[in-house]
Amino acid sequence: MPDPVLQVRDLEAGYGHVSVLRGVSLDVAAGEIVTIIGSNGAGKSTLMKAITGFLHLTGGTVTLDGRAITGTAPEKLVRRGLALVPEGRMLFGPMSVAENLALGAHTRTSATEIAQDLERVQALFPVLAERAAQPAATLSGGEQQMLAIGRALMSRPHVLLLDEPSLGLAPKVIADIFGVLDGLRAEGLGILLVEQDANLALKHADRGYVMRTGHVVLTGTAEELANNDDVRLIYLGAWHGNE
């Protein structure tokens, strides 16, 4: 595997006196999609919060582009190239689509580059150009997810983290969004994905990690995990490769 752009080693974190993550390690290289699979309560969303600085770490290290970022504030991590699309999207509902996208570039200074990236995001998700003046709260669920991803891309990240991007969306919208993610990977973006639909995640991912009660219990290529009997039985819904 190429040198990782994001490297997590022995991560420990939790809430108050409750430990959730216990020695989690993973890598994400440029130009690959890495997925995290696990049941509810496995620690997947906690891991995303810990990596992106929204949760205090009690142990371990995080490295981005070869530089230690352990304990760095979320806004500074955005400046360094790490962007999170959180579960629930966390858009500013009363603000317009255009204003939400502009917020994604708030750490940047080059008006020319920002304009170029806005054009690129609108090319990826044409509906965002059509709805530019519309309040974000009035968009459909799928359009809101596109806006959340577009907002993250406006920071021009080196690594994009997505927490449950398909949750509650129609199959056609999911297919469109994952088609965009496949294209971003081909352009060299590293993507770390938490996805409730393990079949969907493994279909698009290059590699994956299986988490259980705050631990990584299995790792491998997407094909290896999809063909693992335990993964197929517990996470893929059947023994027949249902998609």
The 10s digit of each residue's pLDDT in 58-112 is 999 999 999 999 989 999 999 999 999 998 878 988 999 999 999 999 988 899 9
Note the pLDDT of residue 239. Answer: 38
Given a cut of 50, the residues of the chain with pLDDT beneath it are 238-243
Note the pLDDT of residue 41. Answer: 87
Distances from the Cα of 16 to the Cα of 55, 75, 149, angstroms: 11, 23, 31
pLDDT in tens, 124-138: 999 999 999 999 999
* Nearby residues of 220 by Cβ (< 8 Å), 6 or more positions away: 207, 208, 228
Residue type, 33: I
Output the CA angle 95-101-107, nearest 5 degrees. Answer: 110
Residue ranges per structural domain of the chain: 1-81+157-243, 90-155
Note the pLDDT of residue 242. Answer: 36
DSSP string, 43-70: SHHHHHHHHTTSS-EEEEEEEETTEE-T
Note the pLDDT of residue 237. Answer: 64
- Tell me which architecture the domain covering 1-81+157-243 has in CATH: 3-Layer(aba) Sandwich (3.40)
pTM given for the model: 0.92
Instruction: Give which of 113, 132, 112 is closest to 122, Cα–Cα.
Output: 132
